[in-house]
């Protein structure tokens, strides 16, 4: 059985150990591109995303081929979902880091208020519905909440991401 290894001094060669004393060296065709580079270009065709959690170097320099641009800066990746208009196309963006709720987005709720007279010990009466005066009364409670935007960032972990463009 032959052992196969790439020649570390010339990546255009593959060494086959035929037996303990002889190496059979095969030269690859395809110009000056080595086997390593050919394999990487096959694994990372144009449009591919390269992710690295430790090295910030552009993959064009790191891997030795292609044109790469930073990708998804400050964003998470979501898979395409053709049944959801928010996610039905490649490289579609959306969302925001913070959001201020509108009144319609608040949970349905009620407030309790206490009505008191003018400080005397007498009962204050509201007109009845049969009274000729307007029976409705408006009362406003003290405001609560600050109306500030709240964070809606999902749990995340950062990495360097690059997209091959050429």
Quick check: 23 pLDDT over 60? no
Asked if 91 and 156 sit in the same domain, the reply is yes
Quick check: 45 pLDDT over 70? yes
Instruction: Give the per-residue pLDDT at 1.
Output: 45
Stated pTM of the model: 0.60
Instruction: Give the per-residue pLDDT at 71.
Output: 95
Asked if 160 and 89 sit in the same domain, the reply is yes
Band of pLDDT at residue 121, cut at 50, 70 and 90? low
Higher-confidence position of 58 and 114: 58
Asked if 79 and 158 sit in the same domain, the reply is yes
Residue 156 domain flag: yes
Band of pLDDT at residue 60, cut at 50, 70 and 90? very high
The full DSSP string for 3-43 is: EEEE-TT-TTEEEEE-SSS-EEEEEPPSTT--HHHHHHHHH
Residue 62 domain flag: yes
Asked if 36 and 86 sit in the same domain, the reply is no
Number of folded domains in the chain? 2
Q: In terms of residue numbers, what domain contains 15? A: 1-43
Instruction: Give the per-residue pLDDT at 35.
Output: 77
Count the alpha carbons within 13 Å of 123 in the hemisphere toward its beta carbon.
3
Asked if 5 and 70 sit in the same domain, the reply is no
What is the sign, positive or negative, of the torsion defined by CA atoms of 141, 144, 146, 148? negative
Band of pLDDT at residue 100, cut at 50, 70 and 90? very high
DSSP letter at 100 equals P
Rounded to an integer, the average pLDDT of 46-70 is: 95
């Amino acid at each position: 059985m032959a052992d196969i290894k790439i020649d570390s001094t010339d990546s255009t060669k593959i060494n086959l150990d035929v037996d303990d004393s002889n190496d059979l060296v095969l030269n690859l065709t395809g110009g000056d591109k080595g086997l390593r580079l050919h394999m990487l270009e096959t694994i990372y065709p144009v449009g591919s995303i390269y992710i690295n959690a430790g090295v910030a170097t552009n993959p064009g320099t790191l891997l030795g081929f292609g044109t790469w641009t930073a990708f998804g800066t400050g964003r998470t990746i979501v898979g395409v979902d053709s049944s959801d208009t928010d996610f039905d196309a490649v490289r579609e963006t959306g969302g925001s880091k913070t959001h201020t709720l509108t009144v319609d987005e608040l949970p349905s709720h009620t407030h309790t208020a206490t009505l008191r007279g003018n400080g005397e010990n007498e009962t204050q009466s509201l007109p009845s519905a049969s009274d000729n005066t307007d029976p409705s009364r408006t009362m406003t409670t003290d405001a609560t909440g600050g109306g500030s935007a709240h964070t809606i960032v999902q749990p995340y972990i950062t990495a360097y991401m690059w997209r091959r463009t050429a």
